[in-house]
Amino acid sequence: MSSDLVISCDSVGKAFQLYLRRNDQLMQAIFGHWKQYYHHHWVLRNVSFRVHRGETVGIIGRNGAGKTTLLQIICGITKPTQGSVKVTGRVAPILALGAGFDLELTGRENALIGGAILGMRRSEVESRLDAIASFADIGDFFYQPLKMYSTGMAARLAFAICAHADADILIVDEALSVGDAAFGAKCDAFIRDFARRGTILVVSHDLEVLATICDRVIWIDDGEVRDLGSSDNVIAGYREALEGPAAAAQAATA
């Protein structure tokens, strides 16, 4: 693990605008200079942490705690309402899989688009198309329009593109299914291999996996950092909060 910082989050907060009445959004657009017609719903507040080159850092928390929103901010998909984020290096975000895909284009054509979104030159992507097709393992569908794909097939393609992006940082959100058990095992193997050579930030509910691969874990609770430290200590505290002291102690000795 290097001392170089690759991800820096300083007092990050994210609020969404909630409108209580149907016409309030229109009223905000017309009269928002004089009056506010929405109220803020804060999903993240004052989140600060650092990730160094070569670290694998897990993020845990209950559903709705703000974990995926935090990843989206780090990836640049959405901007923080307050605070700042600095990321150094090429990021491969394995979340919102296929967000930039065009349903009318083929898998091959979308691979070129996906690679460009990740900052790759066209020649780089073209040289890896065969490897991307092999990893996705969708057969001749690679040359068919994406509108013919199942959700799982599109996710396979998106993961395959990220896996061949030569990224410095891998951002993973397990909430998205990437296919059957065999393909899931292939993805898990790729993530474990990447952990030996790159930097990973991963959201997961699989505490056993996080305890195995993570150097540190961040516990997000109701949009704030409740704990940050070694994977064993933070996971033990999280288990105790969820299951009670006796269940947490039993899981720790299992």
* Fold (CATH) for 5-89+168-253: Rossmann fold (3.40.50)
Tens of pLDDT, residues 82-94 = 999 999 988 888 7
- Predicted confidence at residue 144, as pLDDT, reads 96
- Plot region of 14 (φ>0 → left; ψ -120 to 50 → alpha; else → beta): beta
Q: Write the Ramachandran bin of 64: left for phi over 0, alpha for psi from -120 to 50, otherwise beta.
A: left
Closest CA to 58 of 72, 42, 71, 69: 71
**What's residue 183's pLDDT?**
82
Across 182-209, average pLDDT: 86
pLDDT, the chain, mean: 87
Residue 43: closest CA among 77, 8, 22, 73 = 73
What is the amino acid identity at position 176? L
| Interacting residues of 176 by C-beta distance below 8 A, sequence separation 6+ | 94, 95, 96, 97, 155
Structure token pair of residue 8: 């820096």
Mean pLDDT of 99-118: 88
Cα pseudo-dihedral 68, 70, 73, 78, rounded to 10 = 50
Between the alpha carbon of residue 207 and those of residues 79, 204, 234, 241, the distances in Å are: 29, 7, 10, 14
Residue 183, both tokens: 């393909």
Asked if pLDDT for residue 2 goes beyond 60, the answer is no
Nearest-angstrom CA–CA distance, 64 and 67: 7
Residue 210 and residue 52 in contact, taking contact as beta carbons nearer than 8 Å = no
**pLDDT of res. 205:** 87
Residue with tokens 């409740």: 226
Which segments of the chain belong to CATH 3.40.50.300?
5-89+168-253
**Confidence band, pLDDT 50/70/90 cuts, at residue 95:** low
Decide: 165 and 114 in contact? Cβ < 8 Å. Answer: no
> pLDDT value at position 38?
79
Pairing mode of beta strands 56-60, 216-221 = parallel
Instruction: Read off the pLDDT of each residue in 27-32 and give the average, rounded to a whole number.
Output: 84
- Over residues 127-140, the pLDDT tens digits come to 999 999 999 999 99
The model carries a pTM of 0.79
